[in-house]
A and B are shown apart, each in its own frame.
Chain A
């Protein structure tokens, strides 16, 4: 009888014991620092959410400003336009960068420092300067400058450092030369090897780079505004200047979208075959 009554209490005792052990292992100031960081990052988000739920008139729902945003046809059209531009940016960036970085790693490793330097430039040159420099050239292609696809071409440059670094890290993580040579010795051509062997092993890097590219494209305001395209960030700005509550609700919606996209891509990347497993020694 005593045994029966004692057994449900045992796990609780064990977990509290474990908790005490964890607490004793983690210094208090670590937890404090974590708390400060959490407040730093979460407080603005909390403020945004709280603000977006205020300012409603009697009879309007708590989520009035969100309903207003979703009911606005401009929201849907600008959001869709930005998504299209983001996807185009990702597609162009990957088509351009994956073979380039692959080839540099495989055959031209001496060019890596040059690439490092080139890909830093978009960090150094502000978007406003870039667009002032690009505008005269773009005007020569009048058919292009009126199409929103031109933004994708410009965003490729903005996304270059992020995508390059993601791919560079991904390629450094695998024994590229051996894998390529192994595939070649088995009769595979270089494009075939890239497609069948290298790309599947770069999935996490490609997804990570693509995610950053989407984030940049979805949030870019300066160039889109200067070139006169009504993208989602431009729309958000206009709404925010006219109705603060609606603008803040819109900001939060874009937060949620980026987080959802990140989560989806993370899940896609971490589900790689062969990525998990037990390493066995002889």
Chain B
């Protein structure tokens, strides 16, 4: 098992900065996902680790050794690509054996290893099939087996599930995680799918504009976003605009509503404009009877939309502090209709004030 350190990686394409002094440490046997929107530099970083791109400056350290001087074919890193990358002229078994043939291993050893790995990915019966005779999910399974055959130091996965349909994607991501845990291989995974990243990773590096915006466990990323970007990119957030009323007590006025920000590091001068964030599941609503008024701690709103999401329904609200989204049980939502008056309550302990550019951005994250 290997450790990987990305140090101060910078890569520009003309005037576009793809990586802006990126730092990231991956522990031995850890599954780290780089999550971000298109153009955030995550694939560039992965390709630099693989040896397909070179940075303008910085280092890629694997097990304490800078590997930037080594060509891709000497780095011993398994890679699974976004597009189907099986060699069309070879069967599944021959594809898996390819890396071992390059390493001049005996026919028996190659066949044994290919058989083990195809069995591991659940395709033992498809050994003699050509890529065109395999489904997309099966092809990516073979690609995974092929990348593992060479016993790589690090497994690199570049959006390997993005070409698959939703059901296969969920099934295969669980398999990827199961195999990673079984083999204990250090894994770097690139995706723009937050659900995918949060569900299978030990840690997630949320990337933006060539930098790691926040690195943490899936729970930390979801529950404790440190920047507005992370809050908005991972999950859904309500944004409230307010003015600081009391610096000491962290009281913020959002229109007619006053809220207390629970974060003790919230230090802003009185009168300063701030942005507060709260997730839809932290917004509670109750149907108001006709002519009724909200109880203390609640404020009034009206339903503008209802979006059924399965177990929960996302309710769009128009309130005095602006438009809000609230997630309620779908059973409760059956009683709601467009323009229905509701009492709205914010879970004050979940309110966050987030900076667009935290100081932490420039510090190495690990």
Q: Are B132 and A277 in contact (CB under 8 A)?
A: yes
Asked whether A185 and B72 contact (CB < 8 A) given A280-B133, A281-B135, A282-B136, the answer is: yes
Q: Are B85 and A179 in contact (CB under 8 A)?
A: yes
Interface size class of B (residues with CB under 8 A): 35 or more
Q: Are A186 and B52 in contact (CB under 8 A)?
A: no
Our pick among A178, A184, A274, A277 for the contact of B72 (Cβ within 8 Å) is A184
Q: Smallest distance from the beta carbon of A113 to chain B beta carbons, Å?
A: 20
Our pick among A174, A179, A184, A274 for the contact of B132 (Cβ within 8 Å) is A274
Q: Are B73 and A184 in contact (CB under 8 A)?
A: yes
Q: Are B88 and A201 in contact (CB under 8 A)?
A: yes
Q: Are A192 and B89 in contact (CB under 8 A)?
A: no
Q: Smallest distance from the beta carbon of B165 to chain A beta carbons, Å?
A: 6
Check if A95 is an interface residue, CB within 8 A of chain B: no
Q: Are A282 and B72 in contact (CB under 8 A)?
A: no
Q: Which of B52, B85, B99 has the most CB of A within 10 A?
A: B85
Main secondary structure of the interface of A (DSSP, over half): loop
Q: Are A277 and B87 in contact (CB under 8 A)?
A: no
Our pick among A187, A197, A282 for the contact of B87 (Cβ within 8 Å) is A197
Check if A273 is an interface residue, CB within 8 A of chain B: yes
**CB < 8 Å A-B pair total:** 100
State which of B74-82, B244-252, B290-298 sits at the interface with chain A.
Answer: B74-82
Which residues of chain B (118-156) have a CB below 8 Å from chain A?
Answer: 129-138, 143, 146-147, 149-150, 156
Compute how far the CA of A238 lies from the CA of B58 in the bound complex, rounded to whole angstroms. 72
Q: Are B138 and A280 in contact (CB under 8 A)?
A: yes
Compute how far the CA of A185 lies from the CA of B156 in the bound complex, rounded to whole angstroms. 10
Our pick among A186, A197, A201 for the contact of B150 (Cβ within 8 Å) is A186
Q: Are B98 and A188 in contact (CB under 8 A)?
A: yes
Our pick among A182, A192, A282 for the contact of B135 (Cβ within 8 Å) is A282
Chain A interfacial residues counted at CB < 8 A: 28
Check if B168 is an interface residue, CB within 8 A of chain A: yes
Q: Which of A186, A272, A277 has the most CB of B within 10 A?
A: A186
> Chain A residue with minimal CB distance to B89?
A200
Check if A71 is an interface residue, CB within 8 A of chain B: no
Q: Smallest distance from the beta carbon of B286 to chain A beta carbons, Å?
A: 44
Which residues in B have their C-beta under 8 angstroms from that of A185?
Answer: 50-51, 72-73, 75, 77-79, 147, 156
Compute how far the CA of A136 lies from the CA of B206 in the bound complex, rounded to whole angstroms. 67
Q: Smallest distance from the beta carbon of B80 to chain A beta carbons, Å?
A: 9
Which residues in A have their C-beta under 8 angstroms from that of B62?
Answer: none
Which residues in A have their C-beta under 8 angstroms from that of B61?
Answer: none
* CB 8 Å contact bits of A155-193 with B (1 = contact, 0 = none): 000000000000000000011001101111111110010
| 4 tightest A-B CB contacts, nearest first | A186-B99, A274-B130, A200-B89, A182-B85
- Known: A187-B99, A277-B132, A280-B133; 12 extra A-B contacts, CB below 8 A, are A178-B81, A182-B79, A185-B77, A187-B103, A197-B89, A201-B89, A273-B130, A274-B90, A277-B130, A279-B133, A282-B136, A282-B168
